[in-house]
Chain A
Amino acid sequence: MNVPVEITINGKTFSDEVEPRQLLVHFIRENAVLTGTKVGCDTSQCGSCTITMDGIGIKSCTTLTVQADGSSITTVEGLSNGIELHPLQEAFWNKHGLQCGFCTPGMLMATSELLRTNPDPTREEIRAGLEGNICRCTGYQNIVLAVEEAARTMGG
């Protein structure tokens, strides 16, 4: 039987009735029609689905929509303030931290989480903080440099 949920994403509240088995990432992509968050694997490894829920970075493919009822979510579409890019977005752009762009939303949300818990990370800590996100294009090098730049800009 379907379950009613109310989930706020990037400041907008979405109310709907969902199957309990629906993954949060599917709710975000299909019910809320925010397709920035991606599905890249089916074993919780790749991190393309990373979002922020109630201020904490999580994998939306390993969470059910019903678990997110009443929560406040930020996806990549909500990262900028609508006028200016988030320092991480700016840094990824400056440092060529993306190529095909598919892993990028997840990378941005995961690195945003990294900088939340560790505002001044060493290069090694950045690499460790990316262990849950896979990129096949960049070899990670410029992603690491982008996070370093963003940390500097954000005053870490």
Chain B
Amino acid sequence: MYATQTEYYRADSVDNAISLLTQHEDAKILAGGHSLIPLMKLRLAAPAALIDIGRIGNIKGVDQGDATITIGALTTHAEIAASDAVKTNCPILAEAAGMVGDPAVRNRGTIGGNIAHSDPASDLPAVLTALNARLNITGPNGTRREPVSGFIEGLMQNNLEATEIMTSVEVPRKQPYQGMAYAKFEHPASRYAVVGAAAMVTVTDGKCTAASVAIGGVESKPTVGNSVQASLIGSAPTDAVLDEAANSILDDIGDDVLGDIFASAEYRKAMTVVYLRKALVSAVERAG
């Protein structure tokens, strides 16, 4: 409940934040604080300094482009869930953002903070992986654009350098005949994802022409459903096809499956199939 002492600096711009990060070793970025502050309260994190980026106005907000939607890193889950642009053009993201934590947590937690934390039990990493989202990251040497799947490297690990900050997330706009859904098996205590299945399918002329699947909560980073995609493309999305597609996720899951006292690795794998199926059925329905 009582964090250790820390220094505090308030950044008024992205450049200022980077400069502060460069000056202060063992500094952590503070955005909404809903990943960092809980860790600090339990003394599982004890940064020497906090760089508060919460007031940098130009990395917040939803910007609808022609092919993509750009979401500022400081945009909260509540804002994303309520955004008409996101609800219409990238509904799976609005759906998942609306399932993070609880209403008060969603009012403070940010998309940037969530991805930078890279917790396999959180909802957005899998969804953004399925969306093939791109992260815009700025550091002392300039800006880079990174696909989410390359960014997240392991359990709470990613390739963000100590002096970099994420400024925005780009997601593709929904295509015609594309349906998308996020099905979450929620931990009854923490409300994190025991399994979070993100599925996107495009159905044209009765056949599945494109698919993208990613699962959170099962491995240390989101599981990309390549086998599922392969299994779906070219087939009519019948019950039998969806069953087999859901089952094929087991080919994509590696050997190092997460497990805890609530849900063992074996159970998680089995539930991945169940929840992926739910997501696929829903996505197909929404594909219209």
Report A's interface with B, CB cutoff 8 A: 1, 3, 19-21, 23, 39, 42-45, 47, 50, 56-59, 61-64, 66-67, 110, 113-114, 117, 129, 131-133
Contact = CB atoms under 8 A, between A and B. Distances in A.
A1 B6 CA distance: 8
Interface stretch (B99-107, B166-174, B278-286): B99-107
Interface of B: 1-8, 10, 30, 33-34, 37-38, 40-42, 50, 52, 54, 78, 82, 101-105, 107-108, 189-191
Contacts of B191: 131
Given A20-B8, A67-B54, A57 B104 contact: yes
B40 to A, nearest CB: 7
A27 to B, nearest CB: 14
B192 to A, nearest CB: 11
A132 B105 contact: yes
Contacts of A62: 33-34, 37-38, 105, 108
B119 to A, nearest CB: 14
Contacts of A58: 104, 107-108
Nearest to B54: A67
Contacts of A110: 103-104
A42 B107 contact: no
Contact of B4 (A21, A59, A114): A21
A44 B105 contact: yes
Nearest to A3: B8
23 contacts: A1-B7, A20-B7, A21-B2, A23-B41, A44-B34, A44-B101, A44-B105, A47-B104, A56-B107, A57-B104, A58-B108, A59-B105, A59-B108, A64-B50, A66-B10, A66-B52, A67-B33, A110-B103, A110-B104, A113-B104, A114-B103, A117-B103, A132-B103
A110 to B, nearest CB: 7
A63 B50 CA distance: 13
A38 B2 CA distance: 15
Contacts of B41: 23, 42-43, 61
Contacts of A67: 30, 33, 52, 54
